């Protein structure tokens, strides 16, 4: 008898699926149009966006249309040789099987989808298929397993770009934590999902917004309301149940599992606050939403609730709702399904163990070869040391001769050291050259442009004078005068830049003079930036200044303090550039990191402070006590002499001030120049 029943069901399903006039069976015209778009689209990115739209449209459909969509998408994926679409179709197969209660077959399809998503290494897709597979354990109230998989789903989805796939696991975690009786966690995830859905719906077209509102919107709001209810916060619970009810009322008569979730959650809420009549009504509505549908098994929980209540007062109602409960519970928790799920889980665990064993064997092999390589290296070193010992005797004979040469070389080194320090000073001039060229070009362009215009105006002036137009001639003369004033202004600007360059390049006179420290800092910041841009046009950074205008002028040697500021700014630009390149190589947050260098001046009692700050990688604590030592540098060989900070420290000290550094490794560095205000 049981076999005959199964055969009859299969025949009926075949007739439903293939007995339609359309090749797509139960799909609507809108579905057919969407599939046509997918089939005709040649751009993979746009095609995958259309597939995502298909997922959203199919979310609230009955199982048979979902399976039809999965079949059609699977055939299309093979035809177009598109693994992304194939993966989504497998997940849709699993979803359709799960909704009908066939959890064993659902798990089979979901595992295939997960394996394919890993091969594609598409993070958003991995998040989506993991989310869909976790529904099986959510439905069966295996809460720990469901939570673990949903969290994996959220992790991978957040590495991707698809906002819908980021939303799904948050919404489902809110529901599962309710099942696990952890309302605090449920409230956290339910709140995040409601807020995220509001942002998503803003950018969704009206038709899709309607579908998402009556499914995902009702579900998310019900989860949030239930979390507040379980925390005995009735006002907030009622608030969000009312929001969900406003959506349900818009679609009266629609049978959907999402409305069932809402009504059953509401029934539990009313029962929790002893509103018995309202609770019974909501439980009956929860059954009504899915009765005589492929997801009728979802009626088991509200039926059990009603059966328990009527047990003492109405035997007929108890039997009625107990039958509904047993029918649904049989689908959800039959021994056969449980055993098959356990077998498939064990097989999956065995596959994972085999992978782990293979990985361990591979690592062991790598370790063996590394060890063999180390042994060979040790043998080579030993051979080298043996040969070196034989050479040592010859070397000892050379030591006396070398000693004499070293003494001579030492004297030369002292001379070279002073030359090297001077070279370091001149190297900073080289850092400025391109920046100065950029800065001086602007005033020269103005001078040239206004000169050309003035020549034309003089010609016009002569014509007007010859014609006797004295008023117009006077106006032209005024224009010529204004142009000459602008030429004079920009000429002085170019002259100031050249004088600054000459002042920086010549040896310091050692004489202090009143200097505008704000103007000096601003000048060297711009020159250093444009100098680096000239050498590398991909270089870019944000520059910020905050100058204390009450400082006025202070007595310093401008050439020397200018070198200090230039050196610290150049180091800051180097640090942020290095961090940007590192993040780019590691594929971590490089697209949101903004290199920033800032200069701040501040007057305090009897002193003036200059702060130069960057948001680079900072300086390791173990190197802090060495950075002001001569010839110590963290830059690669050939990119620094190690004299810049040492010279800067000595210059500031010679002015009676201090040069200090505060750093946070991996985040920022700030150098502070403290000068006496005399």
pLDDT tens-digit series, residues 548-603: 999 988 999 888 888 889 889 988 988 898 888 888 887 776 678 899 999 999 99
Domains of the chain, first to last = 338-505 (no CATH), 513-676 (3.30.565.10)
CA–CA distance, 469 with 437 (Å, rounded to integer): 44
DSSP 8-state assignment for residue 637: T
User: Residue holding tokens 């005995």?
Assistant: 232
User: Residue holding tokens 């993070």?
Assistant: 123
CA–CA distance, 15 with 333 (Å, rounded to integer): 29
Average pLDDT of span 626-632: 74
Distance of CA 493 to the CA centre of its chain: 45
Element (H, E) at 539: none
Name 556's bridge partners.
Answer: 513
User: Residue holding tokens 């704000």?
Assistant: 518
Query: Looking at the chain, how many residues does it have?
Result: 678
Average pLDDT of span 603-614: 92
Is residue 332 pLDDT above 80, yes or no? no
Instruction: Say which residue, 534 or 242, is predicted with more confidence.
Output: 242
- What pLDDT is stored for residue 661 in this prediction? 93
CA–CA distance, 78 with 73 (Å, rounded to integer): 9
Measure CA of the first residue to CA of the last residue in the chain; give whole Å: 107
Tally the C-alpha atoms within 13 A of residue 408's C-alpha that lie toward its C-beta: 6
Average pLDDT of span 649-653: 88
Average pLDDT of span 419-437: 54
Phi, psi of 20 (to 5 degrees): -85, 160
CA–CA distance, 193 with 208 (Å, rounded to integer): 18
CA–CA distance, 43 with 48 (Å, rounded to integer): 9
CB-based contact 215:256 (threshold 8 Å): yes
CA–CA distance, 256 with 53 (Å, rounded to integer): 20
Lowest-confidence range among 440-449, 584-593, 632-641? 632-641
pLDDT in tens, 345-403: 544 555 666 677 777 778 888 888 888 888 888 888 888 888 877 878 888 777 778 77
pLDDT in tens, 51-62: 888 888 777 677
- What pLDDT is stored for residue 18 in this prediction? 33
CA–CA distance, 541 with 544 (Å, rounded to integer): 10
Would you tell me how many other CB atoms lie within 10 Å of the CB of residue 507?
8
CA–CA distance, 619 with 613 (Å, rounded to integer): 13
User: What is the crossing angle of helices 257-272 and 218-230, to 10°?
Assistant: 20
| Residues 6+ positions from 208 with CB-CB distance below 8 Å | 53, 56, 57
Instruction: Say which residue, 328 or 564, is predicted with more confidence.
Output: 564
Lowest-confidence range among 132-141, 187-196, 486-495? 486-495
Give the pairing type, strands 542-546 and 553-556.
Answer: unpaired
CA–CA distance, 301 with 572 (Å, rounded to integer): 64
Is residue 265 pLDDT above 50, yes or no? yes
Instruction: For residue 103, give the nearest of 67, 143, 136, 66 by alpha carbon.
Output: 136
Average pLDDT of span 434-440: 58
- What pLDDT is stored for residue 59 in this prediction? 72
Instruction: For residue 227, give the nearest of 161, 166, 183, 293 by alpha carbon.
Output: 183
Q: In a 10 Å sphere around its CB, with 0-12 CB exposed, 13-18 middle and 19+ buried, how is residue 321 labelled? A: buried
CB-based contact 156:123 (threshold 8 Å): yes
Is residue 333 pLDDT above 70, yes or no? no
Token pair listed for 218: 């009702």
pLDDT band at 621 (very low <50, low <70, confident <90, very high): confident
pLDDT in tens, 70-98: 888 999 999 999 999 999 999 998 988 88
Phi, psi of 555 (to 5 degrees): -85, 110
Instruction: For residue 247, give the nearest of 235, 259, 239 by alpha carbon.
Output: 259
CB-based contact 554:604 (threshold 8 Å): no
Give the pairing type, strands 658-664 and 596-604.
Answer: unpaired
CA–CA distance, 475 with 426 (Å, rounded to integer): 50
DSSP 8-state assignment for residue 636: P
| Residues 6+ positions from 209 with CB-CB distance below 8 Å | 201
CB-based contact 374:137 (threshold 8 Å): no
Compute the C-alpha angle 179/183/189, nearest 5°: 90
Is residue 234 pLDDT above 90, yes or no? yes
Distances (CA, A) of 634 to 104, 406, 624: 60, 28, 11
Distances (CA, A) of 149 to 155, 358, 547, 614: 10, 24, 54, 41
User: Residue holding tokens 């099987």?
Assistant: 97
Instruction: For residue 62, give the nearest of 88, 96, 31, 93 by alpha carbon.
Output: 96
Encode 258-288: b = buried (16+ Cβ within 10 Å), e = exposed: bbbbbbbbbbbbbbeeeeeeebbebbbbbbe
CA–CA distance, 259 with 285 (Å, rounded to integer): 9
Phi, psi of 263 (to 5 degrees): -65, -40
Q: pLDDT > 70: what percent of the chain?
A: 78
Q: What's the pTM value of the predicted model, to 2 decimals?
A: 0.47
Q: For 433-584, list the strands marked E by DSSP.
A: 513-516, 542-546, 553-556
CA–CA distance, 377 with 310 (Å, rounded to integer): 83
CB-based contact 329:294 (threshold 8 Å): no
User: What is the crossing angle of helices 335-467 and 315-333, to 10°?
Assistant: 70
CB-based contact 7:30 (threshold 8 Å): no
CB-based contact 525:545 (threshold 8 Å): yes
- What pLDDT is stored for residue 232 in this prediction? 94
CB-based contact 17:64 (threshold 8 Å): yes
Name 611's bridge partners.
Answer: 600, 672
């Amino acid at each position: 008898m049981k076999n005959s029943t199964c055969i009859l069901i299969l025949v009926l399903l075949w007739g439903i699926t293939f007995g339609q006039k359309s090749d797509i069976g139960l799909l609507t015209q809108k579905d057919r149009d969407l599939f046509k778009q997918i089939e005709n689209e040649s751009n993979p990115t746009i095609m995958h966006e259309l597939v995502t739209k298909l997922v959203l449209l199919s979310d609230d459909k009955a199982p048979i249309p979902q399976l039809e969509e999965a079949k059609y998408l699977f055939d299309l994926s093979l035809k177009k040789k598109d693994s992304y679409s194939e993966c989504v179709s497998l997940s849709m197969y699993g979803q359709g099987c799960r909704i009908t209660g066939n959890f064993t077959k659902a798990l089979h399809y979901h595992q295939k989808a997960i394996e394919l998503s890993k091969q594609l290494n598409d993070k958003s897709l991995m998040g989506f298929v993991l989310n869909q597979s976790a529904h099986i354990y959510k439905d069966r109230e295996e809460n720990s397993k469901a939570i673990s998989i949903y969290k994996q789903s959220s992790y991978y989805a957040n590495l991707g770009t698809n906002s819908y796939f980021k939303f799904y696991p948050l919404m489902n975690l809110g529901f599962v934590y309710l099942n696990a009786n952890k309302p605090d966690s449920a409230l956290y995830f339910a709140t995040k999902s409601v807020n995220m859905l509001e942002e998503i719906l803003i950018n969704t077209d009206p038709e899709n917004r309607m579908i998402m509102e009556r499914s995902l919107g009702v579900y998310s709001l019900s989860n949030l309301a239930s979390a507040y209810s379980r925390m005995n916060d009735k006002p907030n619970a009622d608030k969000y149940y009312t929001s969900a009810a406003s959506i349900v009322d818009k679609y009266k008569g629609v049978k959907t599992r999402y409305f069932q979730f809402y009504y059953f959650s509401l029934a539990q809420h009313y029962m929790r606050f002893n509103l018995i009549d309202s609770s019974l009504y909501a439980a009956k509505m929860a059954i009504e939403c899915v009765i005589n549908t492929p997801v009728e098994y979802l009626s088991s929980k509200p039926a059990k609730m009603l059966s328990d209540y009527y047990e003492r007062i109405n035997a007929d109602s108890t039997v009625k709702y107990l039958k509904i409960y047993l029918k649904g519970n049989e689908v959800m928790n039959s021994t056969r399904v449980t055993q098959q799920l356990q077998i498939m889980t064990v097989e999956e665990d065995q596959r994972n163990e085999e992978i782990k064993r293979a990985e361990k064997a591979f690592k062991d092999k790598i370790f063996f070869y590394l060890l063999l390589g180390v042994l060979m290296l040790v043998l080579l070193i030993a051979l080298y040391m043996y040969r070196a010992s034989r050479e040592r005797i010859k070397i000892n004979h050379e030591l006396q001769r070398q000693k004499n040469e070293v003494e001579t070389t030492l004297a030369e080194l002292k001379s070279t050291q002073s030359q090297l320090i001077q070279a370091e000073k001149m190297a900073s001039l080289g850092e400025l050259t391109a920046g100065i060229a950029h800065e001086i070009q602007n005033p020269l362009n103005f001078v040239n442009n206004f000169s050309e215009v003035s020549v034309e105006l003089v010609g016009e002036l002569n014509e007007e004078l010859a014609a006797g137009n004295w008023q117009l001639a006077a106006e032209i003369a005024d224009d010529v005068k204004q142009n000459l004033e602008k030429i004079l202004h920009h000429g002085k600007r170019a002259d100031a830049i050249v004088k600054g360059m000459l002042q920086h390049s010549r040896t310091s006179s050692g004489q202090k003079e009143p200097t505008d420290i704000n103007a000096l800092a601003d000048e060297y910041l711009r020159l250093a930036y444009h100098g680096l841009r000239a050498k590398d046009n991909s270089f870019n950074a944000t520059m910020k200044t905050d100058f204390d205008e009450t400082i006025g002028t202070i007595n310093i040697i401008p050439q020397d303090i200018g070198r200090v500021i230039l050196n610290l700014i150049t180091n800051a630009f180097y640090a942020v550039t290095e961090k940007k390149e590192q993040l780019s190589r590691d594929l971590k947050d490089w697209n949101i990191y903004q290199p920033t260098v800032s200069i701040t001046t501040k007057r305090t009692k009897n002193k003036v402070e200059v702060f130069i700050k960057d948001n680079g990688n900072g300086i390791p604590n173990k190197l802090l006590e060495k950075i002001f030592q001569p010839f110590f540098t963290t830059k690669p060989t050939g990119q620094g002499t190690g004299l810049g900070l040492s010279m800067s420290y000595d210059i500031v000290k010679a002015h009676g001030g201090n040069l200090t550094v505060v750093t946070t490794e991996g985040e920022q560095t700030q150098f502070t120049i403290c000068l006496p205000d005399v």
